[in-house]
Amino acid sequence: MRIFRSYLQLPDSARGAVAVLGNFDGIHRGHQEVIGRGRAIARDSGLPLAVLTFEPHPRSVFRPDGAPFRLTPFRIKERHLEALGVDVLVVAHFDEPFLHREAGNFVTEVLIGGLAARHVIAGADFHFGHRRSGSMDFLEREGLEHGFAVTAVGLVPDHTGAVLSSTRIRTALIEGRPRDAAFVLGRAWELEGRVEAGAQLGRTLGFPTANLHLGEYLRPRFGVYAVRAGIDTGLSTVWHDGVANFGHRPTVDGTDERLETHLFDCTADLYGRHLRVQLIEFLRPEQRFESLDALKAQIAKDVLAAKAALE
């Protein structure tokens, strides 16, 4: 998959594609349906499949002081889009000028002038342009005028009729229901980052941990989780079962939010390594213990509970 950080001055080989539009935070099963529709059209028409997405997430421009909310930062989004068979990923820089771009200008400057799109696909609820003035109906009219096809993909429900959405995933994670989030995603929700040095208290207690700060990620419910943790080796990812605590660490008067992961059957030095952590099962809320001995005893119980959940 080729990645372009602007829709301007694309090479001819990246223009004239079937273009799927969306932010795609989560790359969940609904998003996969939209992209899959684009992949089928691209295959049948002999054209490349392109995705146009937006960075940073538009919500960070709408609400710059809001709480972290990203489900899939760009590095993860990129990996999942490539796995879905996308040939070209075009990243439009979303800022205040882009926010105030009129819908018609988005069509002429981005879709036509930049991408030279032959077929445009998006979810039926996709909106664009200043004050979300551009809709899929508007885009269909523009397509008739300018000579490109448009396909609107309806909202994708699950077997109960409930819509598969990023909002649904966020709610499940905030409430401590990672398996429900995984159902919508089609995979376990995952965080990743560089392992940072901590106070090494876990090593003192006999349960060394790899520490990650969450940055722009959505904050899931504070507490202890059964996890799968993948160590990036450069060529592949080596996975281990584990148990993790996300929160402030009240027993040691912690202040920053941190994900601390103890990997089972792993003695490698992980400082500075890239780690992927999948939340599998919520085990218990975070709590303060009266002593480090009490904390150590509870961690031993958490390890057993995590192993049982992961079986």
Q: What is the pLDDT of residues 260-277, one digit of tens each?
A: 999 998 877 888 889 999
From the candidate CATH numbers 3.40.50.620, 1.10.220.110, 3.40.50.300, 1.20.1530.20, the one assigned to the domain spanning 2-153: 3.40.50.620
Report d(CA 199, CA 167) in Å as an integer.
35
Domain 2-153 and domain 166-310, same fold? Reply is no
Listed by start position, the domains of the chain span 2-153, 166-310
Domain 166-310 listed as CATH 2.102.10.10: no
pLDDT of residue 233: 80
List, as one string, the DSSP characters of 85-125: T-SEEEEEE-SHHHHT--HHHIIIIIIIIIS--SEEEEETT
Q: What is the pLDDT of residues 106-160, one digit of tens each?
A: 999 999 999 999 999 999 999 999 989 999 999 999 999 999 999 999 999 998 9
Q: Which residue from 66, 160, 51 is spatially nearest to 115, judged by alpha carbons?
A: 51
Report d(CA 162, CA 60) in Å as an integer.
27
Whole-structure pTM value: 0.91
* pLDDT of 22 higher than 90: yes
* pLDDT of 278 higher than 80: yes
